[in-house]
Amino acid sequence: MFANRSQIETSLSPMELLDRLQAIEQDHGRVKLIDKGPRNIDLDIAIFRDEVVDSERLTIPHMLMHEREFVLRPIMEYVFGGMLVVICAHANKIRSLEAMKEWRNPRTNQRLVSMHSQVRNTSQDEIYTTTTLAAGNSAQASIPTRQTQIMSILNTTPDSFSDGGSNALDIQSLRETAAAHIAAGATIIDVGGQSSRPNAPDVSAEEEIDRVLPAIAAIKSLPEAKGIAISVDTYRAAVAEAAVNAGADIVNDISAGMMDPQMLPTVARLGCTYIMMHMRGTPATMQNPENCKYPGGLWKTIHLELYHRISDAMKAGVRKWRIILDPGVGFAKTQEQNLALLDLGRRSRTNLPRRTRGMPWLVGSSRKGFIGKITGVTEPKDRVWGTAVAVAASIQGGADIVRVHDVKEMAQVAKMADALYRRPVALY
């Protein structure tokens, strides 16, 4: 049985639970007309903790579960006590957790990797996570040889701190910029219609929608954009819904659902991938001294606060396999803290909350103020070299996605960093 949280709790024994399920079926008027044929309700027990049952009425694990994709996918997400504990045993045949990674769609014979959340490699004690971005495009956290995904920034705001709003409401410019980003190596294009810089003027949701929808349409009109994920950078549920309905694949929320109470249920209903960034306060207040204090430790506190946001998101119905995390470089952080965030806590991840372990991370350091302060470069557009070092450091630290302005240059940086830091384990 799988509910919104991918599991249920019961004090019943397996047989008592079966009796209860069959009573529910009868109450709903289940009538079996054709053996193995369609029915108006069908309740089964696929797995029951680590128990094995083999009787005339009940077999656990379900005998044919490996043939049913709709059963395999939620099992991949089965979380018990914060850990993946799927036991796939039947009689004398044990299906190991390692073997789960080879499960395939019984119809297409394709591996079931695009939707499952966590698969523990028992031999190396690592967790592998795959988060769908778009067709044929995914972020695969903790796989040593994974390729860094390049998220390019496409601003449609006239007051963008970094590119001066060069693309604002100019459809041809949007098309040309998006095409150039894709040619340079972008696999995700992040469309923004509301600046998140400190003290940026606020715009209405309607105006933000009017800015981002033409950009999404411009990207989708490009033949070369097939398979490219489109992200909308917004903290407003109304904008997120309009963008996803227009073709966006991802909602990139700097507030992780804190600035609009409708964001989490909206993302859950849309079923899209959701980037949750760590921030305190709002863009106007985030750099207040109190918001930059982390007495419990920077990384430990960020993980804990994101853990609570993930919990709220899952309660709202957001699937864990759809969540990507962002530590929030430049948001409620000092210069030293920003530098520390470029290392995603590789050495301390095992001591952090389980719910954030193994999840994909996005890091956005491109052209930010702390780079300008360190390098002495005043103009954001001239901070390419400082950004290159920050991008390489974040990839070494474990970033799965890097969000950048200078796509051509940073794509090359990412390729070199991948070659250096993401070699097969056997080569070390």
Catalytically active residues are 368, 403
3-state secondary structure the chain: CCCCCCCCCCCCCHHHHHHHHHHHHHHCCCCCCCCCCCCCCCCCCCCCCCCCEECCCCEECCCCHHHCHHHHHHHHCCEECCEECCCEEECCEEECHHHHCCCECCCCCCECCCCCCCEEECCCCEEEEEEEEECCEEEEECCCCCCCEEEEEEECCCCCCCCCCCCCCCHHHHHHHHHHHHHHCCCEEEEECCCCCCCCCCCCHHHHHHHHHHHHHHHHCCHHHCCCEEEEECCCHHHHHHHHHCCCCEEEECCCCCCCCCHHHHHHHHCCEEEEECCCCCCCCCCCHHHHCCCCCHHHHHHHHHHHHHHHHHHHCCCHHHEEEECCCCCCCCHHHHHHHCCCCCCCHHHCCHHHCCCCEEECCCCCHHHHHHHCCCCHHHCHHHHHHHHHHHHHHCCCEEEECCHHHHHHHHHHHHHHHCCCHHHC
